[in-house]
Structure 1
Amino acid sequence: MHGTPAHRTWRHRARTTSAVLAATAMGLAIVPTLSTTAQAETTATAVSVPGTFNSEVGCSGDWAPHCAQAQLTARTDGSGAWSKTLSLPAGSHAYKAALNNSWADNYGANGQYYGANISLQVPAGGKNVTFVYDPVTHWIADDVNKKIVTAGGSFQSEIGCAADWAPDCLKSWLQDIDGDGIYTWSTNAIPAGTHTVKAAIGQSWTESYGQGGSPTGADIGFTVPENGSNVDFRYNSTTHVLTVQTEQPPGPALDGTLGALYTPTKTTFRIWSPDSSQVSVTVGGTTHTLQPADVNGYTGVYQAVVPGNWKNHAYQFRVGNNTVRDPYARMVKPGSTEGIVMDVDAIEPTGGWAPRPAITKREDAVIYEMNVRNFTIDASSGVDSAKRGKFAGLTQTGTTSNGAKTGIDHLKELGVTHVQLLPSYDFNSTVPNWGYDPLNYNVPEEQFSQFTAPEDRVREFQNMVNEYHKNGIRVLMDVVYNHTASKDVFQNITGKYYHETQLSGTGNSIDDGNPMVSRMILDSLKYWVDTYNLDGFRFDLIGVHQYNNVDQWAKYLQSTFPDRTLQIHGEPWSGGVDDPLQAQKVRYGTTPALAGGHVGVFNGTYRDAIKGGTRDQLLGYMGGSSSNASSIALGMRGSPLTTKSTSPLADPWAPAFAYDPEQTINYVSAHDDLNIWDKITYSGVTGGPTGRAGQMSRFAAGMVLTSQGIPFFHEGDEFLHSKVVNGDYEAAKNSYESGDNVNAIQWSEKTANNATFRYYKDAIALRKNTPALRLSTWDAVNAQMATTTTTNGSIVTSAISSNAATPTSHDTVVVYNPTSSASNITLPAGSWKKVLGTNGATDSTSTSADPLAVTVFKKS
């Protein structure tokens, strides 16, 4: 083998042509160097690969640009490229590309004009080495150092190749000019439409790669939106992943959200993928590669705009090698991770939207919590069999049980202003189950639907909300953004959806500390208000969320929908675990900072003061205890801050936390734990519905309905519904997955316990007709409400003025008497009537406060 020294260099182009020729003739192969900025544009009529191996292939010497055996052949595939395969012996070699049989124009490493020699190590035994030269980029490559990568696909004949799926057509040749292992090719010659491609290596299909960089991977789909659009191909020689990025036309408005965004002529598919660029969507049997998209308000988003009308078609996102669900899906194919493209803007309830029931202020609310299935699944509901346990069953009118109104007619008779639905979006468990295991946050639960068609399911939920509105009742929904059914729901998109610390007690807590997760929650809330006309939300374990985020969500919703008077509240605790970031989370102590967004929290402190523990046999104030009268007095006043301020408190569990009465949700019973009637009987209270036990339940409800703040109670409390079957209190303590025999409302209980129902009805009516029970500011409570306890510390009395102009002219007196004896009350001067007592509404001039009861006096 003939060669030149390993340290050979190329000198300045300033040498004369005669000097170069002389040096070459002497066999020194001294080739001038020149900056690429001075590169001449020369038309190549011949291309050779002079190098240290020339003599081995039949040339008279090495470094011979004019040697016939070193000449490449012009390709006939329309690419303009030149190539040749030479049989080279083993060993270390070097070469360059020379044009037109001389050194006048030559190219070395990285396609550089007068660039460095290209080293070539041929393995033992020798090898056929293919050289390829591109006259446009001037990249000279061999298939030992580099891969000859082509994009073989369905579009090749349309760009000038002899056929499609032609791996040997260099019209679609990807090059690694800078040597970083990434091969690229860009073109604007692929016509508009949907195409497929794979990466072919070595100008054949012997080695090739499809989706996910797999040798057996499916074809990679991509869509060119219009003729002349730029398309960029990128092959990673380490991962073997081929990505295709097309120049995208504008999708929906830049303030659009993610998911499948429909128009009749195209659908834009967007998903957040902060960890992987291998993102695709399959729709209509074709897979499309998503590309990075700059969407206002979002980061790490990938997008594909797919032409055509894809309404009601299924689609499947894929990230890396995993199929993943769309966190923004508006509808899904049940039992799968496939979304459904929806034109939700074109769907509205039958007959159009009805006006929402008017509400002056949030303290006017009386909230009734219920489960879609539980409320009507029993035949005693009188609901049509096909509608029982369904959204449609919630609003069927004219239903009765033993002559008593049931269903929505019952709620109207009771007088509630809001229903709060337990989770009604798509969850993982099968009913009967409360659904606190979310899968798809924006999809109505199919088990509550009568329909399978996507549009019908959307309209059915809208109809349910609309019918409640027509009947004077607003609709809230329980949302569980603090965790998912399992980490599998979002984990394969990115682990950034989840907390490292499991705060919900379920092992898959959502981390709204990530801005994109927080944005997802906000977008979901907005979607439900906008599409389904919901009137607010109850947040499961709102204490998992950062209070600054909750404040942002709430303020955005309240300002975006200023006419709605949206009701927003949640549980200010996590799932029974220590939170290292507790100071940043929603707690009683951070509730004042949420006043601007009108966010309230469940007042567990007041609940426990009234009834004792949630699952034990200890009774609180309702059982006659006087030790916590001061806590009762505070809760009766709406748990107001000691000093008015929106700053977070030092104590996260401060019992005096409300900047505004609307921030305390007062309750003694909810879906969790023992309901009020089972708590009373579990604690050993005797007498049944007509005795002390029944009286105690009315006392507890009366306190909730006459305290400042927002009253809340659970379905069936108003007629002593029990979840205890065959004496099993343990199941009743946490009946989320118990059968209908435990959770379903038995409407015969309404007639059996009608006295309790009448009490609730009377107390709700009194609250609505008594402004003093619905004060709406901290200042009003502070100035217009005087609360005292008796000398023995048991009886709590509040005198209230409903007129801010005369704050000490009290017109309403509320007395809580936990003792077993009546107590005579000294009322302010004037004519008074007793309007609420042990059994409900009354009309008496008596000044006696009934035992174990709430008594209300009003100035007449």
Structure 2
Amino acid sequence: MNSNERIFQAYLDEMDIITILLPLSYHHGLSSTFSITDESHRVKPLKIIKKQQIENYNKYICRLSEGISFGHPYWIMDDHGGRTDLQIGAVIRTDTFDERFFYDGNDLGVRCKDNQTHFKLWAPTAAQVKVKLRNSNSSFSEIIKMRREEKGVWSIVVNSDLELYQYTFLVLVNQEWRESVDPYAVAVTANGELGVIVKLEKTRMEKSLLPPIENPVDAIIYETHMRDFTIHPNSGVKHKGLYLGAGELNTIGKDGEPTGLSYVKDLGITHIEFLPFNDFAGVDELEPSKDYNWGYNPIHFNVPEGSYSTNPSDPYARIIELKQLIDTIQRQGIRVIMDVVYNHVYIRETSSFEKVVPGYYFRHNELGFPSNGTGVGNDIASERKMVKKFILDSIRFWMEEYHIDGFRFDLMGILDIETMREVRKTCDSIQKGTLIIGEGWNLNTPLPIDKKAIIRNQSKLPDIGQFNDKFRDTIKGNTFYLYDKGYVFGNEHYIEGAIDVLAGSIGLNQEADGLLTEPSQSVNYVECHDNHTMWDKLVSCLPDLDHDLHSKYHRLATGLVLLSQGIPFLHSGQEFFRTKRGDGNSYKSPNHINQLDWDRKHLYADNVNYIKGLIKIRKELPCFRMKSEDEIRAHTHILPLPVPLIGLSFQGQTNEYSEVLLLINPLRGKQPVSIPDGKWTVLANDKKAGISSIQSIFGKELVLDPVCLTILAKK
């Protein structure tokens, strides 16, 4: 029976509640009795407890006298002789359903070993499930029925080695067959059309051991996109835009100086964060150069994207090449952060989640429609037990199988606090020091605000970093208003906020509590893949200035990212004034907009060396990466400088220096200031930065150069 043949509809909305919709065109929408029957033909009456008219229907709420058995067909009959199948409705979004069908096994998906292949799928609302097998060398396919087990799990063991066979699941729900790729698939065909059975043990590598990261504030994150990183004609990379290219060593640009991974190592970065590299929509893997996409269109969460592979049609190639990349990066002493998108899927209706258990994996609003806090048509319901389990299983998989060192959660505010806490526990159980950061924006999704993993609830997420939009908008100006000028432009209205964010957003200069509780929660940045680059904002805001002043403003903004308390986050190429030619949303713009222009690294080598020097200062001087609110309060003092200048004094933080000063002048003119008396070593001025002395100065007076920061240290 197809849905368009149903005279009226009946839905199981709670374990004991059935909602029936009678069209007014059918007996005026009126019925005095309803009953339910099953395959045994036993007929039981339903009790009508409420009736109301909704548009062209009469809606009847009825109560069951006893529960139904999921996985078996039922029919609803009325007093006119009408009959319809009972469809699974909103019951799947009830706590009772969650409790009844939660499955805690770790064996969902496919396992192939000892001449046997095991299939398991969680599909509690299905009446039948079959696995469809295809031999990759022929068009022949075989369909095998699966058995229903406890907790809504379906399974079958095939007594043969099916390595490299392609497979899908056929799932019968609400009288309709749907064909779906396994939600737990770890390998797929090109463009993710079919799952593929592989033996991951063939691809395993030893994890490179790195010295532990004592605290998240010791990290320096460098965000890049797999293709952007090497696609430029002068990147010096052979496998441009691919996993293998991102892992090539000793590559050089036109100037004969390092590019790619070797350059990032030389810069002093501790963590590379890649935009999503799980399987996503938007790029045809068989013609990857035709289109571009950032990767925030997730299809298969546990499969590497094929367009970055040398051979998308070989299911093993993308797995092995990604593992080789991660291993090479870690051998350089750098960790890998994976950008994960567990907040939505590309298209809800065609996703594996929706095909296998329709309606379960996504949030719905009070009218029963899918919610859209993400802005892409669906929100993942992370608070449901099997959704949370999927996220945790996926995190564990990437850590154990691919040796991922950290995760950046896209639109983390869609997810719930409890899930993020469990993510933290899962990561800690595998590798201490795993970095977890996320976008804690408060989005319009039907989850109570006290349960959202948002910045406002950071006290409930003490070990997770939050992208600090207050830092971003205070230092450079409002991201969503291109012409708003922040503190680095000399805007004195931002000075109180600037002092606060420089000190870790803990409320150092405020009477009220700060935005965050500890500096390790603050991910400090002025640009990322989203929105305009800092350079493009400067060119738009100050079109009449020469590039020298643009460079000074940019250098100051990036310098404050590196010298503020918290976790510094750099957008790749930021250190050589990355531009996207004014494109403020380049998620599918072509290579020439998004590519990392390695020629600019040579053109702006002075700035690259300056940023490299600041990174060394941050690493060498603990005063720029204090580990707690108490430490910041105890050792940070605000100097009485004229507005909008800022002076911070750090005392008793290093054996070598008794005091370190950070002095900031965002104005275009030189500014005389008073400083504590003594002999001071200059570690950074408007031209140079590093751990060795640039010059020494004596006395209580200093003239600050325009638009720059100065670091002084006293022995």
Same fold (TM over 0.5): yes
Distance 1:424 1:672 in 2: 17
Q: Partner of 2:148 in structure 1? A: 292
Residue identity opposite 1:448 in structure 2 = Y
Q: Partner of 2:204 in structure 1? A: 348
Distance 1:261 1:605 in 2: 47
Distance 1:844 1:484 in 2: 56
Task: Check if 1:587 corresponds to 2:454.
Answer: yes
Q: TM-score, normalised by structure 2?
A: 0.78
Match of 2:269 among 380, 398, 416: 416
> How much does 1:613 deviate?
1.9
Match of 1:739 among 590, 609, 615: 590
Task: Check if 1:369 corresponds to 2:223.
Answer: yes
Q: Partner of 1:496 in structure 2? A: 360
Match of 1:446 among 302, 306, 310: 306
Residue identity opposite 1:624 in structure 2 = G
Q: Partner of 1:527 in structure 2? A: 397
Q: Partner of 1:22 in structure 2? A: none
Shift of the 257–635 alpha-carbon distance from structure 1 to 2, 3 Å rule, reads farther
Distance 2:337 2:517 in 1: 23
Shift of the 372–354 alpha-carbon distance from structure 1 to 2, 3 Å rule, reads same
Match of 1:696 among 530, 538, 553: 553
Correspondences of 1:24-423 after superposition (within 5 Å): 179-180=41-42, 255-284=105-134, 285-294=141-150, 299-320=151-172, 321-349=177-205, 352-356=206-210, 358-384=212-238, 387-402=239-254, 403-423=256-276
Q: Partner of 1:819 in structure 2? A: 667
Distance 1:237 1:735 in 2: 51
Residue identity opposite 1:496 in structure 2 = Y
Distance 1:396 1:364 in 2: 26
Distance 2:611 2:403 in 1: 28
Residue identity opposite 1:539 in structure 2 = F
Check conservation: 2:563, 2:618, Cα contact below 8 A: yes
Q: Partner of 2:614 in structure 1? A: 763
Check conservation: 1:357, 1:474, Cα contact below 8 A: no
Per-residue displacement from partner, 1:830-850 (whole Å, max 9, x unpaired)? 542110111231612234433
Distance 2:188 2:652 in 1: 51
Q: Tell me whether 618-627 or 257-266 shows the greater mean CA deviation.
A: 257-266
Residue identity opposite 2:336 in structure 1 = V
Question: How many residues matched?
Answer: 591
Distance 2:614 2:672 in 1: 21
Q: Partner of 1:612 in structure 2? A: 477
Give the share of equivalent positions with the same residue, in percent. 29
Task: Check if 1:573 corresponds to 2:441.
Answer: yes
Task: Check if 1:437 corresponds to 2:297.
Answer: yes
Match of 2:422 among 552, 561, 580: 552
Q: Partner of 2:344 in structure 1? A: 483
SS in 1 for 2:317: helix
Check conservation: 1:687, 1:694, Cα contact below 8 A: no
Task: Check if 1:623 corresponds to 2:489.
Answer: yes
Residue identity opposite 2:323 in structure 1 = Q
Q: Partner of 2:648 in structure 1? A: 798
Shift of the 236–638 alpha-carbon distance from structure 1 to 2, 3 Å rule, reads closer
Task: Check if 1:838 corresponds to 2:686.
Answer: yes
Shift of the 514–857 alpha-carbon distance from structure 1 to 2, 3 Å rule, reads same
Per-residue displacement from partner, 1:272-322 (whole Å, max 9, x unpaired)? 22322322212353323333334xxxx533222322212222111121100
Which ranges of structure 1 fall in alignment gaps of 5 or more residues?
1-174, 182-233, 242-252, 645-653
Per-residue displacement from partner, 1:203-257 (whole Å, max 9, x unpaired)? xxxxxxxxxxxxxxxxxxxxxxxxxxxxxxx98696999xxxxxxxxxxx97424
Distance 1:261 1:397 in 2: 36
SS in 2 for 1:423: coil
Task: Check if 1:472 corresponds to 2:333.
Answer: yes
SS in 2 for 1:373: coil
Which ranges of structure 2 fall in alignment gaps of 5 or more residues?
1-37, 44-70, 76-83, 87-102, 135-140, 284-290, 365-370
Q: Tell me whether 734-743 or 358-367 shows the greater mean CA deviation.
A: 358-367
Structure 1 segments, 4+ long, off by >6 Å, are 237-241
Q: TM-score, normalised by structure 1?
A: 0.65
Q: Partner of 1:505 in structure 2? A: 375
Q: Partner of 1:705 in structure 2? A: 562
> How much does 1:789 deviate?
5.2
Distance 1:859 1:315 in 2: 68
SS in 2 for 1:734: coil
Per-residue displacement from partner, 1:747-793 (whole Å, max 9, x unpaired)? 11111111221221111111111111111112111212223452x43
Match of 1:753 among 583, 587, 604: 604
Task: Check if 1:662 corresponds to 2:520.
Answer: yes
Question: Which structure has the greater CA radius of gyration?
Answer: 1
Q: Partner of 1:455 in structure 2? A: 316
Q: Partner of 1:428 in structure 2? A: 281
> How much does 1:802 deviate?
5.1
SS in 2 for 1:622: helix
Shift of the 414–235 alpha-carbon distance from structure 1 to 2, 3 Å rule, reads closer
Q: Partner of 2:137 in structure 1? A: none
Distance 2:384 2:654 in 1: 45
Check conservation: 1:639, 1:655, Cα contact below 8 A: no
Per-residue displacement from partner, 1:544-587 (whole Å, max 9, x unpaired)? 1112211111122112323xx11110111155x47662332122
> How much does 1:504 deviate?
0.3
Shift of the 828–300 alpha-carbon distance from structure 1 to 2, 3 Å rule, reads farther
RCO comparison, higher one (Cα < 8 Å, 6+): 2
SS in 2 for 1:379: coil
Shift of the 345–802 alpha-carbon distance from structure 1 to 2, 3 Å rule, reads farther
Distance 1:836 1:237 in 2: 76
Residue identity opposite 1:459 in structure 2 = I
> How much does 1:470 deviate?
1.0
> How much does 1:457 deviate?
2.1
Match of 2:530 among 672, 675, 678: 672
Distance 1:279 1:527 in 2: 25
Q: Partner of 2:705 in structure 1? A: 850
SS in 1 for 2:333: coil
SS in 2 for 1:405: coil
Match of 2:499 among 627, 633, 639: 633
Per-residue displacement from partner, 1:714-748 (whole Å, max 9, x unpaired)? 11111112111xxxx3xx10011000111112211
Task: Check if 1:603 corresponds to 2:451.
Answer: no
Distance 2:515 2:484 in 1: 25
SS in 2 for 1:369: strand
CA RMSD in angstroms comes to 2.8
Distance 1:642 1:578 in 2: 33
Distance 1:508 1:669 in 2: 27
